[in-house]
Structure 1
């Protein structure tokens, strides 16, 4: 009887989790899609195209260290670009910051709109590229996905450090802490320069776990439209 009760309880629990997570969404990160459409390009591909008489730039793929240089060239060579559509799984944090500032610089000469189209996802370093737009919009069904900045994803560095002993591991931890603090300062400064509320960091980004633990597997968060407007991530509402 006890085994039967446990089986029923487990089934009810599983059904409850399924019911609580809308179809197509990630059970571990229920505000975000289970299969984010952020492109599998290893480096970000920049493609200008014509749409209704205007030039739009598609920015798709991983934010790599050379992105700022390529982006500056494309924007310089195509002065008619007025809008950038972005989807990316993130990548190099500092390159993302630099690309965002670059977009803002070009926005002084022309109105530069950044957009996350419906079905597309902009994650991690992509967030700061997107926020570079003077005007920013997320279409219904587009996702601005955030997480906590971490360096612990570098498993090779961690394993090598542990193998070398306590002193090396302590040094690595100190490096991680310094880098995290520096990135937090840079991100905070960047949000000020891009007219985005710094509360986005404290209220949303820094509240996310960097590593999934226990029963709570959530490490990612997708902003609701209300939150995107509240923190001025979006300053043009498509509705």
Structure 2
């Protein structure tokens, strides 16, 4: 899986305390599969709302939604999901010359980052959240404990698999960022600085980028420069 869904910000000394850069309940939708809805806007081109988890079967629905779409901008709200699917979806968005936006009050986390970065022009409105974390194969601590309990050979094998997969992920992340025009410093200065594992509150491993960081690392190609027009403010949904 691609690691771009990884990110940074929580200092190691914070331990199990929730990352203060992120709200307690980010508005990223709890749809179990990503849904696509065209939202008409008086006097403007329509936008395509992409909401929900990035599921294994996303790609055919994304292609169909883009083919029928008469606009040029996608708004994203997602808790992430399948990283490799997210990577492919981001490339499809780029191939179709679509812009991406995280509107005020919406959150794009983990694999959602890939879709967002696929935009030819990218906007993070004031109040929109681009959330990253350190992708890891070691997040399931119980699975690791079980392998360790089975003996040295199992543990060595697990470590070898993790090392190999981690190297592949780092390479995939670098490649994706370069292709999409994102600064690779986002990986080294933010994502890879985060705690990869932790028990308890998952927010201890999240990092919500500030507007300054969004601009510095070229996550947004168009820096936010004022109040977002009301017609660009989607209604806050229940998250279903």
Q: Classify the TM-score, shorter chain.
A: 0.7 to 0.9
Alignment-derived partner of residue 105 in structure 1: 95
Relative to structure 1, the CA distance from residue 98 to residue 169 in structure 2 (aligned partners, 3 Å threshold; closer, same or farther) is same
Alignment-derived partner of residue 81 in structure 2: 91
SS at match of 1:31: coil
Establish whether residue 193 from structure 1 lines up as the match of residue 173 from structure 2. no
Could you state the TM-score of these two structures normalised by the residue count of structure 2? 0.80
Partner residue of 2:170 out of 179, 184, 190: 184
1:211 Cα shift? 2.1
Alignment-derived partner of residue 39 in structure 2: 49
The structure, 1 or 2, with the larger RCO (C-alpha pairs under 8 Å, 6+ apart) is: 2
Partner residue of 1:60 out of 29, 37, 51: 51
Establish whether residue 75 from structure 1 lines up as the match of residue 61 from structure 2. no
Relative to structure 1, the CA distance from residue 184 to residue 171 in structure 2 (aligned partners, 3 Å threshold; closer, same or farther) is same
Establish whether residue 128 from structure 1 lines up as the match of residue 104 from structure 2. no
Q: Please list the CA deviations of residues 43-66 of structure 1 after superposition, one character each: whole Å capped at 9, or x if unmatched.
A: 211112212342211111111122
Say what the alpha-carbon RMSD is for the aligned residues.
1.8
Alignment-derived partner of residue 34 in structure 1: 24
Which residues of structure 2 form unaligned runs of 5+? 1-16, 226-240
Partner residue of 1:149 out of 115, 135, 160: 135
Contact 2:34 2:54 in 1 (8 A): yes
Q: Please list the CA deviations of residues 60-86 of structure 1 after superposition, one character each: whole Å capped at 9, or x if unmatched.
A: 1111122222211211222x1311110
Relative to structure 1, the CA distance from residue 177 to residue 194 in structure 2 (aligned partners, 3 Å threshold; closer, same or farther) is same
Aligned length: 205
Contact 2:39 2:47 in 1 (8 A): yes
Establish whether residue 238 from structure 1 lines up as the match of residue 224 from structure 2. yes
1:164 Cα shift? 3.7
Establish whether residue 206 from structure 1 lines up as the match of residue 196 from structure 2. no
Which consecutive segments of 4 or more residues in structure 1 shift more than 2 A? Answer: 153-166
Alignment-derived partner of residue 237 in structure 2: none
Establish whether residue 170 from structure 1 lines up as the match of residue 161 from structure 2. no
1:218 Cα shift? 3.4
Larger Rg: 1
Alignment-derived partner of residue 116 in structure 1: 102
Which residues of structure 1 form unaligned runs of 5+? 1-26
1:163 Cα shift? 4.8
Could you state the TM-score of these two structures normalised by the residue count of structure 1? 0.80
